């Protein structure tokens, strides 16, 4: 199993980190040296700019999350990095709770799954 986050779409909500039973995700400050420490392809790496459509959707939502904050405060903020993708058991919990619809999982047959927020 391979897992990555499309970093420019990550709101920092931390849902993936909170629901994953096998600790695939780590929340990092956006300025952290290892913020691109997963298998995301070049066009999904964090380069300092969030996707405008995702910012428009979530930037002003008041739900207690520090959307798009640089630093993770222990509950939200920062950016998610799939540091432990090979441990994924494909429970699919993260695939329906990702605000930015930015988690991509590839299984061992090569099938690719994108998160869709529900
Ligand atoms: S599908 Fe994989 S990465 Fe997502 S929550 Fe389940 S075990 Fe974790
Ligand atoms: S659930 Fe999606 S938007 Fe929220 S922190 Fe994880 S990857 Fe980012």
Average pLDDT of the residues in 28-53: 98
pTM of the entire predicted model: 0.97
For the stretch 66-80, pLDDT in tens is 999 999 999 999 999
Average pLDDT of the residues in 13-31: 98
Pocket of ligand 2 from Cβ distances under 6 Å = 5, 10-16, 80, 97-100, 102-103
Ligand 2: which of 8, 9, 11 to mutate, judged by most atoms within 8 Å of the beta carbon? 11
Q: How confident is the model at residue 33 (pLDDT cuts 50, 70, 90)?
A: very high
Query: What is the CB neighbour count within 10 angstroms for residue 90?
Result: 13
In the chain, domain spans = 2-114
Answer whether 90's CB lies under 8 Å from 80's CB: no
For the stretch 95-113, pLDDT in tens is 999 999 999 999 999 999 9
pLDDT at residue 66, as a whole number: 95
Answer whether 15's CB lies under 8 Å from 53's CB: no
Which ligand 1 atom is nearest residue 1's CA? 2
pLDDT at residue 5, as a whole number: 98
Task: Give the closest residue to 101 by CA, choosing from 53, 61, 64.
Answer: 53
Q: How confident is the model at residue 61 (pLDDT cuts 50, 70, 90)?
A: very high
Answer whether 10's CB lies under 8 Å from 59's CB: no
Q: How confident is the model at residue 18 (pLDDT cuts 50, 70, 90)?
A: very high
Q: 98 CB under 6 A from ligand 1? A: no
């Amino acid at each position: 199993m391979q897992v990555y986050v499309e970093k420019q779409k990550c709101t920092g909500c931390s849902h993936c980190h909170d629901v994953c039973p096998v600790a695939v995700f780590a929340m990092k400050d956006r300025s952290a040296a290892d913020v691109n420490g997963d298998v995301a392809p070049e066009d999904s790496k964090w380069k300092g700019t969030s996707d405008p459509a995702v910012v428009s959707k979530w930037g002003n939502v008041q739900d207690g999350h520090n959307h798009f904050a640089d630093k993770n405060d222990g509950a939200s903020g920062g950016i998610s990095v799939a540091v432990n993708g090979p441990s994924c058991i494909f429970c699919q919990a993260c695939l329906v709770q990702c605000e930015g619809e930015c988690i991509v999982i590839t299984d061992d047959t090569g099938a690719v799954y994108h998160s869709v927020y529900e």
